[in-house]
């Protein structure tokens, strides 16, 4: 469904017109989203990159989302990358929700490696408990590729 919406938004953009407000609601953080549309959830983009300075990073490495939103990580450069939520750095009850929401896990709260350039990994935070979620990239955790996100009501 979200991919369909994104495709429509891109089509509108490609045509050089359209309702920019409606388009923006699909890609901006949920803070701008009217409560009436909260059930659909916003999609938040995080890039996984190896910078020109040789640093492995999530960009942004801090993010605040709403319950029901989705985070989409993209393997931009320097992969393989993944998303591994850190035991003890997620709210109580989060592990069960994440394990159900994360496709092709390598382990508990441990997402699949993204090998191909521009590969994406999406996690829905529908039903996720509020609080702070720390996560790392398994291959690059020792190189400082860590981040966190905060889930709010």
Residues that bind Cu ion (CB under 5 A): 81, 137, 140, 145
* Torsion angles phi and psi, residue 84, rounded to 5: -125, 110
In terms of CB distance, is 58 or 125 closer to Cu ion? Answer: 58
SS3 121: strand
Q: Minimal distance in Å, beta carbon 55 to Cu ion? A: 11
DSSP for 35-95, written as a single string = GGGTTT--EEEEEEEE-TTS-EEEESSEEEEETT-EEEEEE-SS--B--EEPTTSS-TTHH
In terms of CB distance, is 57 or 66 closer to Cu ion? Answer: 57
In terms of CB distance, is 40 or 61 closer to Cu ion? Answer: 61
Residue nearest to Cu ion (CB): 137
In terms of CB distance, is 44 or 140 closer to Cu ion? Answer: 140
Q: Minimal distance in Å, beta carbon 105 to Cu ion? A: 16
Listed residue (91, 72, 83) closest to 27, CA to CA: 72
Q: Minimal distance in Å, beta carbon 51 to Cu ion? A: 12
């Amino acid at each position: 469904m979200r991919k369909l919406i994104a495709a429509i938004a891109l089509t509108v953009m490609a045509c050089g017109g359209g309702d920019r407000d409606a388009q923006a609601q699909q890609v901006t953080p949920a803070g701008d989203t009217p409560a009436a549309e909260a059930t659909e959830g916003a999609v938040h983009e995080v890039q996984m990159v190896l910078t020109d300075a040789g640093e492995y990073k999530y960009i942004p490495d801090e993010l605040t989302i709403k319950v029901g939103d989705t985070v989409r990580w993209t393997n931009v450069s320097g992969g393989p990358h993944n998303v591994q939520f850190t035991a003890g750095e997620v709210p109580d009850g989060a592990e069960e929700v994440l394990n159900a929401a994360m496709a092709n896990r390598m382990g508990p709260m441990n997402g699949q490696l993204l090998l191909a350039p521009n590969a994406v990994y999406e996690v829905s935070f529908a039903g996720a408990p509020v609080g702070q979620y720390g996560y790392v990239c398994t291959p690059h955790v020792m190189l400082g590729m860590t981040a966190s996100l905060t889930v709010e009501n």
